[in-house]
Structure 1
Amino acid sequence: MARPIFGNAPAAHPDGSLRWSIELIGDRWCAEWPSDRPRSGPVELTGRFIVNIVWTGSEHPTPVRGRVRRIQLVEQCIEPAAKGGRRMVEGSERLSDVESTPQRFWSDWAASSDDPVVATGVLLELDLDEVPMAETRFKAGTVSVHGCDVWVMDRSDPVLLHVDTSCTPPRVTEFLLPLTIEPPTRGWARAVHADAGGCWITSRYEVFRCERTAPTAVTIERVTTDGGFGVVDDGQLFLRTFPRPTMRTSRRYGVVRVEPDAYPVRIFNDDRQLAPVEDPALAARIAAQRVTPDTARAVDGTVWIAAGDLIALRPDGTRDRIDLEARTHGAVHWIRSDPRTDPKNTDILTVISLPEPDER
């Protein structure tokens, strides 16, 4: 079944034609297909499946799971190309069985004149009917620490854990938050920032405040729909955006230039409102901080690492893996703002409100 990846601009093929990104959905598998025409519905195709880690038309392609039944090394002849460089000779493929995928850089075509045959990839046979059970355990993606309180969040699911390190073993409490499920990308969908009262949760889309009201209870509230890279400095939360013009790939427009914000560093004031940082020295200090959401350093020198597991790297060099599966479930109170009750929106509501029907 073919389904267009909506909103995706077509790509230019070397022959001058266009290629639209189409998602192919089969029995226990899916793939992307660069089609020369828009397609939708049942299709019959003959071709090869290719793993491409560089380009994908979909922002978050669905992974295919299966049991590996066979691994074959693919070798091909390489010859000089007419316009320089090297190219693979079509039809020169040869296959040989191997026990595991060779650990090598596949774009290194270092063929010699004596032996022009080089390894160019691997061919896998996947059994889609015997699929290993997918892991459902918590996967730590971002961590922050304040005193004995360690806050760690799943890399994809809206699950927040509080780890009380004043206990032996640490006491872990889970909070299921009313947030979106984010794609488990190689970067960080969210970041947590601990303080004395709880933690902030930042992302490129929004910022939430999570207040710890009891040992096993929190309140959560979205404080802004502006996003950025969060930094806590001297107890205050700052949001950073890229300070210079940059180039980004847009699904709809291709490669585009993105202008920087007028104030690439902003601060949450005492009223939890975002305000621009106009002091050049303060803005430069915040912009210069180099932190990553998956590591946090405690005052005792312990470095906490969120990399699927939660690891505590002690000052003496020992590493402790924290058991996050033995946990209790806490209570979450969601503070939801209603734009319809905000006095600032009264004039808008007056325009869009419909009159009550006349019962006469």
Structure 2
Amino acid sequence: MTRQRTLVVQIDEIAIEDGQIEPPKLGAVIEFPLRFAEQPAVNAHTVTIRAVLEANERDPVFQYTGHGSPRKWEWNGILRGDGWTASWRGFTPRTGHVELTGRFYGVMGYDTPTNARGRVTRVQLVTERYRRPPENHGWHIVPGHRTFRDVEAAPRFFDNDMIMRDDLFEVDREVGVVVDLDLDDVPPEPARPSIVPGDVSASGEALWVVDMELPIVVSIGSDHVAREHVLPGPIGHSRHVWATPTECWVGGKDGLYRCVIGAAPRRVNLRSVHQGAVIGEHFLACPSGTTWSLHTADNEPVVVEVPDGYVRSIAVDGEFFVVLIEQLHADIGSSSRLVRVTVTGETTVGPELATIPGRRGASPYLAGAPLRIFRSGTASRVLPDLALGAMEQLEGDPFHGGQVGNFVWIIGHPPDGTSRTGWWPLPGPVDYDRTRRQFWLFTLLDAGTLEPVKSTPIFATNPAVTTDGKGTIWVRGAGVQSIPTESMQWPDGLDVAALLDEN
């Protein structure tokens, strides 16, 4: 008889509240990204594991290790164990078969391709004591006061109101859960669908969808027939797709491809392409470096010479492409510039933008008409000389957005009326289904006035967004979905795999 495989995993509240991991409950089968952190054996819930460590080729990071502690070099890789995989970070370089002591964590999945899957057999709510010295506003964990309490299920949201109060200097706060997972008592995983959407783009009546990992693109026309286009590229790469009225372009780490209905896809460039935009039949591809390229149907690409920089955002402003690039400097950190590109390849480089208004750490993006640079809750007007003009303040603080058709789209947390922004971007108190798992609020703003037009709950923090010739707005959230005409209705799903299988 084989032994039962189990894992004990700590899941911090941020991964649950942000929707990455559903609140664990007794008896449920859950799957989530997993990390293993090396820790001394005296810490609670530490285990000693044996696994195979696949170190990656990235350079180590000179990491901060805590207040008053020296920085150390930190390496990372993937641990492969019996029934699980986990990302690993450690201050000692390792590879191959290893024996490590530490703790498993359920984490956000943006930087780790690993996972654990099992049935929950125990849930313990974790409480830490925090203390704030009277002379500052920072909270610090008080050692020796970590407690555990068995519960039927983890909460959907954890109470953080106490740490916002100025009259408290010591609080006991729930910071997450520890779960016991049975890795064996789970049903077989379903077979992978014929396509798992990774990006979507529309033009006219055609919708193009690219797989998340496979070199497969599917086109869906006005006849609702799905056609498969197989790229001559490797498996395992994520790719982006940009549709024109007659074809589409697909870019990723392995280069740029052209897809036309009725012809075999072909690779037209080996350079990595992750950013681009379309005006009519003109496609601007923006790989890293000082050379971009303009593509149209069967013509040779036009070389576009630009300043070196990382492409942050691209928007269409009338008959021009406008690109926001970030440039790194050894002495001052980083600055930004705007670059205007015509459909024939002429460029105008704007002045250096030392700062872009908005919350530090938030990613800026271009959208709106007139064109603006958005950053969290601010919108700064782009002037004809590509400098920044007057700044407008949104009523809320969305954490991402972009341009789609005649709208600005933004993503934020659904409001409940208790924050400083009230019910924005909703018009007021709204009843909606709160029984489904955590969602984010997708909102369309009028491109000119920036007033909210309608909002929709979706399951994606940074969706791909596109619009077709009929004005239907499509997102790649929980699969491919269309945004309803009525506000606060769940989006309508399009089962691309089912359409493909029918054909």
Q: Same-fold call, TM > 0.5?
A: yes
Partner of 2:240: 191
Distance 1:40 1:282, change over 3 A: closer
Partner of 1:225: 270
Which range moves more in the overlay, 297-306 or 313-322?
A: 313-322
3-state SS, counterpart of residue 278 of structure 2: strand
The 5-angstrom pairing of residues 129-148 of structure 1 reads 129-135=184-190, 136-137=192-193, 138-148=195-205
Alpha-carbon separation, structure 1, partners of 2:124 and 2:162:
18
Whether the 8 Å contact between 1:223 and 1:272 is mirrored in structure 2 is: no
Alpha-carbon separation, structure 2, partners of 1:131 and 1:159:
31
Identity of aligned residues (%): 26
* Equivalent in 3, 10, 19 of residue 74 of structure 2: 19
Amino acid at match of 2:202: V
The 5-angstrom pairing of residues 205-354 of structure 1 reads 205-213=254-262, 218-226=263-271, 227-240=273-286, 261-262=289-290, 266-268=293-295, 271-276=299-304, 282-284=320-322, 290-291=402-403, 294-313=464-483, 320-328=492-500
Alpha-carbon separation, structure 2, partners of 1:141 and 1:18:
34
Alpha-carbon separation, structure 1, partners of 2:162 and 2:101:
28
Whether the 8 Å contact between 2:52 and 2:81 is mirrored in structure 1 is: no
Whether the 8 Å contact between 2:122 and 2:179 is mirrored in structure 1 is: yes
How much has 1:328 moved relative to structure 2?
4.8
Deviations 1:187-217 (A, max 9, x none): xx3222223433211235521001211xxxx
Distance 1:100 1:120, change over 3 A: same
How much has 1:132 moved relative to structure 2?
4.2
Amino acid at match of 1:175: H
Distance 1:65 1:229, change over 3 A: same
Distance 1:127 1:321, change over 3 A: same
Q: With structure 1 as the length reference, what TM-score do the two structures score?
A: 0.68
Amino acid at match of 2:144: G
Whether the 8 Å contact between 1:24 and 1:32 is mirrored in structure 2 is: yes
Partner of 1:47: 102
Alpha-carbon separation, structure 1, partners of 2:245 and 2:168:
67
3-state SS, counterpart of residue 58 of structure 2: coil
Distance 1:262 1:19, change over 3 A: closer
Deviations 1:130-158 (A, max 9, x none): 34444522332322223332211222332
3-state SS, counterpart of residue 326 of structure 1: helix
The 5-angstrom pairing of residues 3-82 of structure 1 reads 3-10=53-60, 11-12=62-63, 14=65, 15-16=69-70, 17-53=72-108, 60-80=112-132
Whether the 8 Å contact between 2:158 and 2:174 is mirrored in structure 1 is: no
Whether the 8 Å contact between 2:130 and 2:170 is mirrored in structure 1 is: no
How much has 1:233 moved relative to structure 2?
0.3
Whether the 8 Å contact between 2:55 and 2:95 is mirrored in structure 1 is: no
Distance 1:206 1:91, change over 3 A: same
Distance 1:33 1:108, change over 3 A: farther
Whether the 8 Å contact between 2:52 and 2:95 is mirrored in structure 1 is: yes
Partner of 2:140: 87
1:122 aligns with 2:170: no
Partner of 1:152: 209
Partner of 2:152: 99
How much has 1:65 moved relative to structure 2?
1.8
How much has 1:231 moved relative to structure 2?
0.8
3-state SS, counterpart of residue 151 of structure 1: strand
Alpha-carbon separation, structure 2, partners of 1:205 and 1:142:
16
How much has 1:60 moved relative to structure 2?
4.2
Distance 1:142 1:31, change over 3 A: closer
Alpha-carbon separation, structure 1, partners of 2:95 and 2:135:
38
Distance 1:194 1:102, change over 3 A: same
Whether the 8 Å contact between 1:310 and 1:321 is mirrored in structure 2 is: yes
Whether the 8 Å contact between 1:173 and 1:329 is mirrored in structure 2 is: no
Whether the 8 Å contact between 2:232 and 2:267 is mirrored in structure 1 is: no
Amino acid at match of 1:127: D
Whether the 8 Å contact between 2:294 and 2:304 is mirrored in structure 1 is: yes
Deviations 1:3-48 (A, max 9, x none): 2523233343534344332533221123244334322343333321
Whether the 8 Å contact between 1:174 and 1:327 is mirrored in structure 2 is: no
Distance 1:179 1:5, change over 3 A: same
Alpha-carbon separation, structure 2, partners of 1:316 and 1:51:
36
Alpha-carbon separation, structure 2, partners of 1:7 and 1:305:
34
5+ long unaligned stretches in structure 1: 184-188, 242-259, 332-360
Alpha-carbon separation, structure 2, partners of 1:200 and 1:158:
13
How much has 1:225 moved relative to structure 2?
1.8
How much has 1:235 moved relative to structure 2?
1.4
Deviations 1:273-329 (A, max 9, x none): 241178x98453569565478222122222222223322346577854333343456
How much has 1:113 moved relative to structure 2?
4.5
Alpha-carbon separation, structure 1, partners of 2:161 and 2:221:
49
Q: With structure 2 as the length reference, what TM-score do the two structures score?
A: 0.50
Aligned alpha-carbon RMSD (Å): 3.7
Alpha-carbon separation, structure 2, partners of 1:108 and 1:232:
46
How much has 1:172 moved relative to structure 2?
2.2
